Chain A
Amino acid sequence: MSDWIKRFLPFVSLLALCVVIAVLEPRFLSAANLASVARQTAVITIIAMGMTLVMVSGGIDLSVGSMMALAGVVGAFALANGAPVVAGVAASVLAGAACGLLNGGAITALRIPPFIVTLGAMGVYRGVALLITDGKAVVGLPPRFGYLAEGNLFGLVPVPLLVVVLVALATQFLLVSTRTGRYCYAIGSNVEAARYAGVRVAHYRIIFFVLLGALTGLAGAIESARLVTGQPTAGEGYELRVIAAVVIGGGSLSGGQGSVAGTIIGALIMGVLANGANLLGISSFTQQIVIGAVIVLAVTFDAFQRRRLETAAL
């Protein structure tokens, strides 16, 4: 029964939140507003897909905010120097993947906990982004690039939303219907048991960090397109929002749990919360307090669930 609650609690919360906001402020449900919610949450959701992989496998990555900025400016440099849009986006994705490889490699080769490695990396990537841009925004991006963030497919579907859907479908397939996904849960659930079952633990952990990096790079490109500049200061505090999305959606800080659908709902809860607060004229300071409280609630719930399972496993 409690499994059932755990599965549907995030969804029910999201629904309740939407209803409350819609009652207080009917503009919430307007097509324009919903499209803007989608655009605002797209970047967080894309990174959160990758974070789901990393966290289900028992890891964590605190460097995604900085990494996104770095990948964003790398892509922006390419574009400012005349590269076609596709190449610019590819440059961001590759830069992110390289950062992920660095994180995953350091964690597995040096056997240092992900928390520590990525805490360090958070500073390093931000520093590199500021260094190569001299602290200034990269300008001169082609106007067509803006389509990635502001465009509408068939004049209806926001392009970032489309990207989110594609990324989510791919992540869902990976996590549920492939060997890699199985190993992801197994490693997160009990890394020693996975190793004793013949799973190449280090190999897969690196893969998850690289995938997170690539998705963070993609998000960086979208963020640059939204700002129409490459900002070395972009993405500050995003790591917290991304991790919160995963945890609110049922992911566990100790691994072995989490799902694509849950994470999307988690990201939406945060997005809707922010949007609703704006519509209702609640200050951004209050918003921070509310979001912080929601995170603590979600983690508490997770800890409570885990204690139950541990009792069962005595």
Chain B
Amino acid sequence: MASLAPALEMRGMTKLFAGNTVLNGVSLSAAAGEVCALVGENGAGKSTLMKVLAGVHQPDAGEILLDGQTVRFHRPADALAHGVAMIYQELSLAPHLTVAENIFLGREPISFAPLGIVDRREMNKRAGRMLAGYGFKIDPRAPVSRLSAANRQLVEIARATLEAKRVLVMDEPTSSLTAHETEELFRLIRDLKARGLAIIYISHRLEELKRIADRLTILRDGQVVYAGVWGELSHAEIIRHMAGRELKEIFPARQTQKGAVRLRVEHLTRAGKFADVSFEARAGEVVGIAGLAGAGRTELVEAIFGAVPADSGEIHLDGARLNVRQPDRAVARGLGLLTEDRKRTGLCLNLPLARNLTLANLRALVRGWRLERRREREAAREYIERLHIRPPDPDKTVGRLSGGNQQKVLLARWLFAASQVFLLDEPTRGVDVAARIEIYRAINKLTEAGAAVVMVSSDLPELLGMADRILVMRRGRLVVELDARQTTQEEILRYAAVEEGAQAELEVAVQHFELTSHS
């Protein structure tokens, strides 16, 4: 009997936030052993739909059925009790606990049952075995606060696989992963399918979905505009359904003259993170930085920005030495860093959109002592318009925007700050195809106006499409500089792969990108 009903069915889900309809009669079903892809533009309601399923939000109408039985989840614990687990778009681990403690939170193995003493050794052992089994190279005893964004994501995934008995929701799980880890994740997903889990997978990367999805649901403005078997629609058709219009040229052409050197980095070193890194970026140029997770790319740009200073080496901005111990000096000199972790180092989540947008350049809004709030709102409106931030409300609490729209607010912050040298760390993380094009256009405008851009990205097609030169980092060192017009993904990956086991890693990675490259 049970096998006739789909593992999960959501019917007529409706959700309002402050009177705005975010979900409008959405239905979705997923069978055991299937991956159901959920796509849609930023703010379409994907995360909200899944948070309703996970018990985070209460629906205003609609019902949820598991194996044909109606269920109600009043809180996340209810959903977990029914074997429904979710990996959230924003990281949600406890930073002060270790990897193993996070994975087993609330489920710690106990020795001396009556006393309830946590058996740490057993816990570390099990966590270690589990991570290794998944192919994740993470120390179970490391505190989460020390992990890179990619490794934190992997820990979240590991934890969720323990909790998920029937349904596993993954909300943009690969947005901070590189090719290699994505490959491990896909292998894991295939295992989970075989175990009979129903998986709902949200992503903006269609190339990725192509490899794992069995079904497809497309949301637009809180409504289902398509539901069917994966493969019925071409990529172009999917994008058209999401956007509700035709989209052209992913990487808009750029006409720029390279000018003087704006940023020069010499022998920059930070113990254990990167060593002897030297490069320069000229006016009008986009310099890409590629590498696997843990190669030291984020640490490098954070050091240039002064957020976590380097131990030695020099940074020159427009020919003058920049001696930064704190970002304020760098910002004052026209440097901007779009951070990789928008929740931790990017946004003041409980403050309004406009205040987050103007934070790095309030000087421009001050006359005498007074901050001109009218001009602030005008400025916010301008950037909301330019980057299509939705909803277009300067007073909206930024933590309540969808993930992709939060990312756009962060980019807008540095555009508003009129920075001259941009360090962009995964600038299109979680951003939909249409908005991506807006961001690429914005980058092109910047370089045309004489700015220099350093772009760290794990999205190789993006690097190839946007950068002039691509620097490849491997284990904290710059190993090669490639001309973006001449190189290929395979070549980049060959340099990025770590020496030992390089061949195997290369093979999966190359295979991944052969399948996923833009056609």
Tell me the complex Cα distance, A190–B359, Å.
12
Task: Contact check, B350 vs A198: say whether CB atoms are below 8 A apart.
Answer: no
Whether A185 is near chain B, meaning CB under 8 Å from some CB there, is yes
Task: Contact check, A186 vs B351: say whether CB atoms are below 8 A apart.
Answer: yes
Query: Assuming A177-B371, A182-B362, is B349 touching A198 (CB within 8 A)?
Result: no
Select one of B92, B328, B347, B417 contacting A314, CB under 8 A.
B92
Query: In the complex, how many angstroms separate the beta carbon of A252 from the nearest chain B beta carbon?
Result: 9
Number of interface residues of A (CB under 8 A): 27
Most buried by B among A177, A189, A195, A311: A189
**Inside 8 A of B360's CB, which chain A residues have their CB?**
197-198
Whether A256 is near chain B, meaning CB under 8 Å from some CB there, is yes
Most buried by B among A178, A198, A256: A198
Most buried by A among B305, B343, B351: B351
Known: A177-B369, A256-B348. 6 other contacts (CB 8 A): A192-B345, A194-B348, A195-B328, A198-B360, A312-B400, A314-B51
Select one of B328, B351, B363 contacting A200, CB under 8 A.
B328
Using CB atoms, name the residue of chain A closest to B54. A314
Whether A193 is near chain B, meaning CB under 8 Å from some CB there, is yes
Select one of A177, A181, A186, A312 contacting B348, CB under 8 A.
A186
- Interchain residue pairs with CB less than 8 A apart (30): A1-B18, A177-B371, A178-B369, A178-B370, A178-B371, A181-B371, A182-B359, A182-B362, A183-B362, A185-B355, A186-B348, A186-B355, A189-B349, A192-B344, A192-B345, A193-B345, A193-B347, A193-B359, A195-B328, A196-B337, A196-B345, A198-B327, A198-B330, A198-B332, A309-B349, A309-B399, A311-B57, A313-B343, A314-B51, A314-B92
Tell me the complex Cα distance, A186–B326, Å.
17
Task: Contact check, B348 vs A196: say whether CB atoms are below 8 A apart.
Answer: no
**Inside 8 A of B51's CB, which chain A residues have their CB?**
314
Query: In the complex, how many angstroms separate the beta carbon of B419 from the nearest chain A beta carbon?
Result: 10
Interface residues of B in 396-435 (CB under 8 A from A): 397, 399-400, 413, 417
**Inside 8 A of A257's CB, which chain B residues have their CB?**
350
**Inside 8 A of B238's CB, which chain A residues have their CB?**
none
Interface residues of A in 89-142 (CB under 8 A from B): none
Task: Contact check, B346 vs A193: say whether CB atoms are below 8 A apart.
Answer: yes
Task: Contact check, A197 vs B351: say whether CB atoms are below 8 A apart.
Answer: no
Interface residues of B in 9-42 (CB under 8 A from A): 18
Whether B119 is near chain A, meaning CB under 8 Å from some CB there, is no
Whether A199 is near chain B, meaning CB under 8 Å from some CB there, is yes
Query: Assuming A1-B18, A189-B350, A311-B56, is B371 touching A179 (CB within 8 A)?
Result: yes
**Inside 8 A of A198's CB, which chain B residues have their CB?**
327-328, 330-332, 360, 417
Give the B-binding residues of A (Cβ under 8 A): 1, 177-179, 181-183, 185-186, 189-190, 192-200, 256-257, 309, 311-314
Whether B491 is near chain A, meaning CB under 8 Å from some CB there, is no
**Inside 8 A of B400's CB, which chain A residues have their CB?**
312-313
Task: Contact check, A199 vs B359: say whether CB atoms are below 8 A apart.
Answer: yes
Query: Assuming A190-B347, A313-B90, is B369 touching A197 (CB within 8 A)?
Result: no
Tell me the complex Cα distance, A197–B305, Å.
10
Query: In the complex, how many angstroms separate the beta carbon of B254 from the nearest chain A beta carbon?
Result: 28
Task: Contact check, B370 vs A177: say whether CB atoms are below 8 A apart.
Answer: yes
**Inside 8 A of B482's CB, which chain A residues have their CB?**
none
**Inside 8 A of B305's CB, which chain A residues have their CB?**
196
**Inside 8 A of B326's CB, which chain A residues have their CB?**
195, 200
**Inside 8 A of A313's CB, which chain B residues have their CB?**
90, 343, 349, 399-400
Query: Assuming A186-B351, A198-B332, is B362 touching A314 (CB within 8 A)?
Result: no
Task: Contact check, B349 vs A195: say whether CB atoms are below 8 A apart.
Answer: no
Select one of A195, A256, A311 contacting B350, CB under 8 A.
A256
Task: Contact check, A197 vs B307: say whether CB atoms are below 8 A apart.
Answer: no
Per-residue interface assignment for chain B, residues 350 to 381, with 1 indicating a CB less than 8 Å from any chain A CB and 0 otherwise: 11000100011011001001110100000000
